[in-house]
Amino acid sequence: MNPPDRNLLSRRGFCLCCVGGAAFTSGWLTPRESYAEARGIVSLIKDSAAASPIVTHSLRSGISVLEGSGGNIAVLTGPDGKVLVDAGISVSRPQLTKALATLGREPITHLVNTHWHFDHADGNEWLHAAGAKIIAQANTKKHLSEVQRVEDWDYNFLPLSRGGIPSEVFTVDHKLKLNGASIGLKHYGPAHTDSDISVTFAEANIVHVGDTFWNGIYPFIDYSTGGSIDGMIAASDANLAATTADTIIIPGHGNPVSNRAELQEFRDMLVAIRDNVAKLKKQGRSREETVAAKPTAAFDAKWGQFVIDPGFFTRLVYQGV
Ligand SMILES: [Zn+2]
Protein backbone atom coordinates (compact mmCIF):
# COMPACT_ATOMS: atom_id res chain seq x y z
CA MET A 1 0.00 0.00 0.00
CA ASN A 2 1.47 3.39 -0.87
CA PRO A 3 2.18 5.98 1.84
CA PRO A 4 -0.86 8.27 1.34
CA ASP A 5 -3.27 5.32 1.69
CA ARG A 6 -1.43 4.10 4.71
CA ASN A 7 -1.83 7.50 6.32
CA LEU A 8 -5.46 7.68 5.40
CA LEU A 9 -6.14 4.28 6.90
CA SER A 10 -4.07 4.98 9.99
CA ARG A 11 -5.98 8.13 10.71
CA ARG A 12 -9.30 6.40 10.26
CA GLY A 13 -7.92 3.47 12.22
CA PHE A 14 -7.21 5.82 15.10
CA CYS A 15 -10.92 6.06 15.55
CA LEU A 16 -11.96 2.47 15.02
CA CYS A 17 -12.49 2.51 18.78
CA CYS A 18 -15.41 4.83 18.12
CA VAL A 19 -17.15 2.48 15.70
CA GLY A 20 -20.81 2.49 16.63
CA GLY A 21 -20.04 4.86 19.49
CA ALA A 22 -19.32 8.52 20.06
CA ALA A 23 -18.99 10.96 17.21
CA PHE A 24 -15.57 11.47 15.75
CA THR A 25 -14.88 15.17 15.66
CA SER A 26 -11.68 16.05 13.94
CA GLY A 27 -10.94 19.24 12.10
CA TRP A 28 -8.28 17.77 9.87
CA LEU A 29 -10.18 15.21 7.84
CA THR A 30 -10.49 16.16 4.18
CA PRO A 31 -14.04 16.20 2.75
CA ARG A 32 -13.34 12.82 1.13
CA GLU A 33 -12.18 11.38 4.43
CA SER A 34 -15.14 12.82 6.30
CA TYR A 35 -17.44 11.19 3.80
CA ALA A 36 -15.61 7.90 4.21
CA GLU A 37 -15.77 8.34 7.97
CA ALA A 38 -19.52 8.59 7.79
CA ARG A 39 -19.72 5.44 5.68
CA GLY A 40 -17.40 3.36 7.85
CA ILE A 41 -14.15 1.50 7.60
CA VAL A 42 -15.20 -0.99 4.93
CA SER A 43 -16.17 1.76 2.53
CA LEU A 44 -12.95 3.59 3.27
CA ILE A 45 -10.88 0.51 2.48
CA LYS A 46 -12.77 0.14 -0.80
CA ASP A 47 -12.19 3.82 -1.66
CA SER A 48 -8.53 3.40 -0.87
CA ALA A 49 -8.21 0.30 -3.07
CA ALA A 50 -9.93 2.08 -5.97
CA ALA A 51 -7.18 4.70 -5.97
CA SER A 52 -4.24 2.38 -5.24
CA PRO A 53 -1.83 1.19 -7.91
CA ILE A 54 -0.98 -2.51 -7.91
CA VAL A 55 2.65 -3.31 -7.15
CA THR A 56 3.94 -6.64 -8.48
CA HIS A 57 6.64 -8.57 -6.58
CA SER A 58 8.21 -11.46 -8.49
CA LEU A 59 9.14 -14.35 -6.20
CA ARG A 60 10.29 -17.61 -7.84
CA SER A 61 9.02 -20.63 -9.83
CA GLY A 62 6.43 -18.54 -11.70
CA ILE A 63 4.90 -17.10 -8.54
CA SER A 64 4.34 -13.39 -7.92
CA VAL A 65 2.52 -11.30 -5.33
CA LEU A 66 0.26 -8.39 -6.22
CA GLU A 67 -0.02 -5.71 -3.55
CA GLY A 68 -2.56 -2.89 -3.37
CA SER A 69 -6.06 -4.39 -3.48
CA GLY A 70 -6.98 -5.33 0.07
CA GLY A 71 -5.14 -8.55 0.99
CA ASN A 72 -1.96 -9.64 -0.76
CA ILE A 73 -2.70 -11.70 -3.88
CA ALA A 74 -0.41 -14.56 -5.00
CA VAL A 75 -0.38 -15.57 -8.66
CA LEU A 76 1.11 -18.74 -10.18
CA THR A 77 1.44 -18.55 -13.96
CA GLY A 78 1.95 -21.38 -16.43
CA PRO A 79 0.39 -23.46 -19.21
CA ASP A 80 -2.61 -24.42 -17.05
CA GLY A 81 -3.47 -20.74 -16.73
CA LYS A 82 -3.17 -18.24 -13.94
CA VAL A 83 -3.88 -19.51 -10.44
CA LEU A 84 -4.72 -16.74 -7.95
CA VAL A 85 -4.69 -16.92 -4.19
CA ASP A 86 -7.20 -14.28 -3.09
CA ALA A 87 -9.20 -11.91 -5.20
CA GLY A 88 -8.74 -8.49 -3.67
CA ILE A 89 -11.44 -5.84 -3.85
CA SER A 90 -13.58 -5.55 -6.97
CA VAL A 91 -12.97 -1.82 -7.45
CA SER A 92 -9.33 -2.70 -8.25
CA ARG A 93 -10.36 -4.67 -11.30
CA PRO A 94 -8.81 -2.26 -13.85
CA GLN A 95 -5.44 -2.15 -12.06
CA LEU A 96 -5.45 -5.90 -11.35
CA THR A 97 -6.37 -6.75 -14.93
CA LYS A 98 -3.38 -4.73 -16.11
CA ALA A 99 -1.01 -6.26 -13.54
CA LEU A 100 -2.17 -9.80 -14.39
CA ALA A 101 -1.69 -9.13 -18.12
CA THR A 102 1.93 -8.16 -17.56
CA LEU A 103 2.54 -11.59 -15.96
CA GLY A 104 1.74 -13.36 -19.24
CA ARG A 105 -0.98 -14.13 -21.78
CA GLU A 106 -2.41 -17.17 -19.99
CA PRO A 107 -6.08 -16.95 -19.02
CA ILE A 108 -7.20 -16.81 -15.39
CA THR A 109 -8.32 -20.36 -14.58
CA HIS A 110 -8.29 -20.84 -10.79
CA LEU A 111 -8.88 -18.76 -7.68
CA VAL A 112 -8.34 -19.92 -4.10
CA ASN A 113 -9.78 -17.82 -1.24
CA THR A 114 -7.73 -17.89 1.98
CA HIS A 115 -10.91 -16.93 3.90
CA TRP A 116 -14.22 -15.16 3.36
CA HIS A 117 -13.37 -11.51 4.15
CA PHE A 118 -14.29 -8.89 1.54
CA ASP A 119 -10.73 -7.67 1.09
CA HIS A 120 -9.83 -11.21 -0.08
CA ALA A 121 -13.04 -12.34 -1.81
CA ASP A 122 -14.83 -9.21 -3.07
CA GLY A 123 -13.19 -9.73 -6.48
CA ASN A 124 -14.57 -13.29 -6.76
CA GLU A 125 -17.44 -12.30 -9.06
CA TRP A 126 -15.35 -10.60 -11.75
CA LEU A 127 -12.61 -13.23 -11.57
CA HIS A 128 -15.19 -15.99 -11.99
CA ALA A 129 -16.63 -14.12 -14.97
CA ALA A 130 -13.07 -13.89 -16.34
CA GLY A 131 -12.76 -17.69 -16.14
CA ALA A 132 -11.71 -18.66 -12.62
CA LYS A 133 -12.97 -21.73 -10.85
CA ILE A 134 -13.17 -20.78 -7.17
CA ILE A 135 -11.89 -23.11 -4.46
CA ALA A 136 -12.16 -22.52 -0.68
CA GLN A 137 -12.79 -24.03 2.71
CA ALA A 138 -16.46 -24.88 3.36
CA ASN A 139 -16.94 -22.04 5.88
CA THR A 140 -15.83 -19.50 3.27
CA LYS A 141 -18.61 -20.69 0.98
CA LYS A 142 -21.08 -20.53 3.84
CA HIS A 143 -20.17 -16.97 4.84
CA LEU A 144 -20.12 -15.72 1.25
CA SER A 145 -23.58 -17.21 0.69
CA GLU A 146 -25.31 -15.46 3.59
CA VAL A 147 -25.69 -11.96 5.00
CA GLN A 148 -22.73 -11.68 7.32
CA ARG A 149 -22.42 -9.14 10.12
CA VAL A 150 -18.97 -8.23 11.42
CA GLU A 151 -19.56 -6.43 14.72
CA ASP A 152 -16.13 -4.87 15.01
CA TRP A 153 -16.47 -3.29 11.55
CA ASP A 154 -20.11 -2.36 12.20
CA TYR A 155 -20.92 -3.72 8.77
CA ASN A 156 -23.37 -6.16 7.18
CA PHE A 157 -21.96 -7.93 4.14
CA LEU A 158 -24.45 -9.08 1.52
CA PRO A 159 -24.06 -12.52 -0.07
CA LEU A 160 -22.08 -12.65 -3.30
CA SER A 161 -23.94 -13.51 -6.48
CA ARG A 162 -23.77 -17.16 -7.55
CA GLY A 163 -20.69 -16.73 -9.74
CA GLY A 164 -18.66 -15.40 -6.79
CA ILE A 165 -19.44 -18.35 -4.51
CA PRO A 166 -16.72 -21.04 -4.38
CA SER A 167 -17.78 -24.05 -6.47
CA GLU A 168 -15.24 -26.46 -5.02
CA VAL A 169 -14.99 -26.71 -1.24
CA PHE A 170 -13.22 -28.90 1.28
CA THR A 171 -13.22 -29.28 5.05
CA VAL A 172 -9.71 -30.14 6.26
CA ASP A 173 -7.33 -30.16 3.32
CA HIS A 174 -7.17 -30.35 -0.43
CA LYS A 175 -4.47 -30.86 -3.07
CA LEU A 176 -4.11 -29.34 -6.53
CA LYS A 177 -1.55 -30.00 -9.25
CA LEU A 178 -1.38 -27.02 -11.59
CA ASN A 179 1.43 -25.69 -13.78
CA GLY A 180 3.62 -28.48 -12.45
CA ALA A 181 3.24 -27.20 -8.89
CA SER A 182 1.97 -29.24 -5.96
CA ILE A 183 -0.42 -26.88 -4.20
CA GLY A 184 -1.61 -27.82 -0.72
CA LEU A 185 -4.64 -26.16 0.88
CA LYS A 186 -5.00 -26.67 4.63
CA HIS A 187 -7.61 -25.44 7.11
CA TYR A 188 -6.22 -23.94 10.32
CA GLY A 189 -9.34 -24.46 12.39
CA PRO A 190 -10.57 -21.31 14.15
CA ALA A 191 -7.88 -18.58 13.76
CA HIS A 192 -8.54 -15.11 12.27
CA THR A 193 -11.99 -16.46 11.25
CA ASP A 194 -13.31 -20.04 11.11
CA SER A 195 -12.52 -20.28 7.39
CA ASP A 196 -8.76 -19.61 7.12
CA ILE A 197 -6.49 -21.84 5.07
CA SER A 198 -2.82 -21.88 4.15
CA VAL A 199 -1.87 -22.33 0.50
CA THR A 200 1.52 -24.01 0.05
CA PHE A 201 3.48 -24.22 -3.19
CA ALA A 202 5.66 -27.19 -2.27
CA GLU A 203 8.44 -27.10 -4.90
CA ALA A 204 8.82 -23.32 -4.71
CA ASN A 205 8.77 -23.41 -0.90
CA ILE A 206 6.31 -20.52 -0.78
CA VAL A 207 3.25 -20.33 1.44
CA HIS A 208 0.38 -17.82 1.51
CA VAL A 209 -0.89 -17.81 5.08
CA GLY A 210 -3.79 -15.39 4.60
CA ASP A 211 -4.79 -13.23 7.54
CA THR A 212 -3.22 -15.52 10.14
CA PHE A 213 -0.17 -13.25 9.65
CA TRP A 214 -0.10 -9.46 9.35
CA ASN A 215 3.50 -8.54 8.69
CA GLY A 216 4.63 -5.74 11.00
CA ILE A 217 1.11 -4.53 11.90
CA TYR A 218 -1.48 -5.49 14.51
CA PRO A 219 -3.97 -7.94 13.00
CA PHE A 220 -7.73 -7.82 12.90
CA ILE A 221 -9.39 -10.82 14.56
CA ASP A 222 -12.96 -11.57 13.51
CA TYR A 223 -14.81 -12.97 16.51
CA SER A 224 -18.09 -12.64 14.59
CA THR A 225 -17.12 -15.60 12.42
CA GLY A 226 -15.10 -17.75 14.77
CA GLY A 227 -11.74 -15.98 15.14
CA SER A 228 -9.92 -15.52 18.45
CA ILE A 229 -6.55 -14.47 19.83
CA ASP A 230 -5.81 -18.05 20.87
CA GLY A 231 -6.72 -19.24 17.39
CA MET A 232 -4.33 -16.65 15.91
CA ILE A 233 -1.51 -17.89 18.17
CA ALA A 234 -2.25 -21.53 17.29
CA ALA A 235 -2.19 -20.65 13.59
CA SER A 236 1.13 -18.83 14.03
CA ASP A 237 2.58 -21.91 15.71
CA ALA A 238 1.31 -24.07 12.84
CA ASN A 239 2.90 -21.65 10.35
CA LEU A 240 6.22 -21.79 12.18
CA ALA A 241 6.11 -25.58 12.24
CA ALA A 242 5.38 -25.74 8.51
CA THR A 243 8.16 -23.40 7.32
CA THR A 244 11.95 -23.14 7.25
CA ALA A 245 14.43 -20.28 6.99
CA ASP A 246 14.21 -20.58 3.19
CA THR A 247 10.41 -20.41 2.94
CA ILE A 248 8.93 -17.28 1.39
CA ILE A 249 5.89 -16.46 3.51
CA ILE A 250 3.15 -14.28 2.03
CA PRO A 251 1.12 -12.56 4.77
CA GLY A 252 -2.46 -11.42 4.29
CA HIS A 253 -1.44 -7.83 5.00
CA GLY A 254 1.78 -5.87 5.41
CA ASN A 255 4.96 -6.21 3.37
CA PRO A 256 4.01 -9.11 1.08
CA VAL A 257 7.36 -10.88 0.86
CA SER A 258 8.14 -12.21 4.30
CA ASN A 259 10.00 -14.95 6.11
CA ARG A 260 10.06 -17.12 9.19
CA ALA A 261 11.99 -14.60 11.31
CA GLU A 262 9.28 -11.96 10.80
CA LEU A 263 6.58 -14.55 11.43
CA GLN A 264 8.29 -15.54 14.69
CA GLU A 265 8.32 -11.88 15.76
CA PHE A 266 4.58 -11.63 14.99
CA ARG A 267 3.84 -14.77 17.01
CA ASP A 268 5.92 -13.54 19.98
CA MET A 269 4.10 -10.18 19.88
CA LEU A 270 0.71 -11.95 19.98
CA VAL A 271 1.75 -14.12 22.92
CA ALA A 272 3.22 -11.22 24.93
CA ILE A 273 0.17 -8.99 24.46
CA ARG A 274 -2.20 -11.85 25.17
CA ASP A 275 -0.40 -12.44 28.49
CA ASN A 276 -0.48 -8.75 29.42
CA VAL A 277 -4.17 -8.40 28.63
CA ALA A 278 -5.10 -11.66 30.38
CA LYS A 279 -3.36 -10.51 33.58
CA LEU A 280 -5.28 -7.23 33.58
CA LYS A 281 -8.60 -8.94 32.88
CA LYS A 282 -7.93 -11.43 35.66
CA GLN A 283 -7.40 -8.51 38.06
CA GLY A 284 -10.96 -7.51 37.27
CA ARG A 285 -10.17 -4.58 34.98
CA SER A 286 -12.87 -3.61 32.53
CA ARG A 287 -12.17 -3.49 28.82
CA GLU A 288 -11.61 0.27 28.84
CA GLU A 289 -9.46 0.10 32.00
CA THR A 290 -7.37 -2.52 30.22
CA VAL A 291 -6.95 -0.27 27.18
CA ALA A 292 -5.96 2.62 29.50
CA ALA A 293 -3.26 0.42 31.08
CA LYS A 294 -1.58 0.21 27.63
CA PRO A 295 -0.71 -3.51 27.59
CA THR A 296 0.64 -3.13 24.04
CA ALA A 297 2.96 -0.18 24.81
CA ALA A 298 6.23 -2.05 24.16
CA PHE A 299 5.01 -2.99 20.67
CA ASP A 300 3.10 0.07 19.48
CA ALA A 301 5.93 1.90 17.71
CA LYS A 302 6.45 -1.04 15.37
CA TRP A 303 3.03 -2.71 15.14
CA GLY A 304 0.54 0.07 15.84
CA GLN A 305 0.95 2.12 12.68
CA PHE A 306 -1.83 0.71 10.50
CA VAL A 307 -5.60 0.20 10.55
CA ILE A 308 -5.72 -1.74 13.80
CA ASP A 309 -4.43 0.75 16.38
CA PRO A 310 -3.24 -0.21 19.91
CA GLY A 311 -6.60 0.43 21.59
CA PHE A 312 -8.53 -1.51 18.98
CA PHE A 313 -6.13 -4.44 19.12
CA THR A 314 -6.27 -4.49 22.92
CA ARG A 315 -10.08 -4.72 22.74
CA LEU A 316 -9.83 -7.62 20.30
CA VAL A 317 -7.46 -9.52 22.59
CA TYR A 318 -9.53 -8.69 25.71
CA GLN A 319 -12.56 -10.27 24.07
CA GLY A 320 -10.77 -13.62 23.80
CA VAL A 321 -8.95 -14.05 27.13
ZN1 LIG B 1 -9.38 -11.11 6.97
Question: pLDDT, tens digit, for every residue of 130-179?
Answer: 999 999 999 999 999 999 988 888 888 999 999 999 999 999 999 999 99
Between strands 63-67 and 55-58, the pairing is antiparallel
Q: What is the mean pLDDT of residues 255-263?
A: 98
74 Cβ contact partners less than 8 Å away, ≥ 6 residues apart: 63, 64, 65, 66, 84, 85, 86, 199, 206, 208, 250
CA of 104 relative to ligand 1 center, distance in Å? 29
Tell me what the pLDDT averaged over the chain comes to. Answer: 89
Between strands 181-187 and 173-178, the pairing is antiparallel
**Cβ(231)–Cβ(271) below 8 Å:** no
Kindly report the backbone phi and psi dihedral angles of residue 196, in degrees, each rounded to the nearest multiple of 5, phi listed first.
-70, 140
- pLDDT at residue 39, rounded to an integer: 59
CA of 222 relative to ligand 1 center, distance in Å? 7
Q: What is the mean pLDDT of residues 21-36?
A: 37
pLDDT of 305 above 60: yes
Distance between CA atoms of residues 219 and 192, nearest Å: 9
Q: What is the mean pLDDT of residues 37-45?
A: 71
CA of 176 relative to ligand 1 center, distance in Å? 23
- pLDDT at residue 23, rounded to an integer: 27
Q: What is the mean pLDDT of residues 38-50?
A: 80
CA of 307 relative to ligand 1 center, distance in Å? 12
CA of 195 relative to ligand 1 center, distance in Å? 10
CA distances, 67 to each of 94, 115, 205 (Å): 14, 17, 20
Q: What torsion, rounded to 10 degrees, do the Cα atoms 298, 44, 220, 247 define?
A: -90
- pLDDT at residue 249, rounded to an integer: 98
40/216: higher pLDDT: 216
Bridge partners for 61 per DSSP: none
Distance between CA atoms of residues 130 and 109, nearest Å: 8
CA of 131 relative to ligand 1 center, distance in Å? 24
Q: Is the pTM of this model over 0.95?
A: no
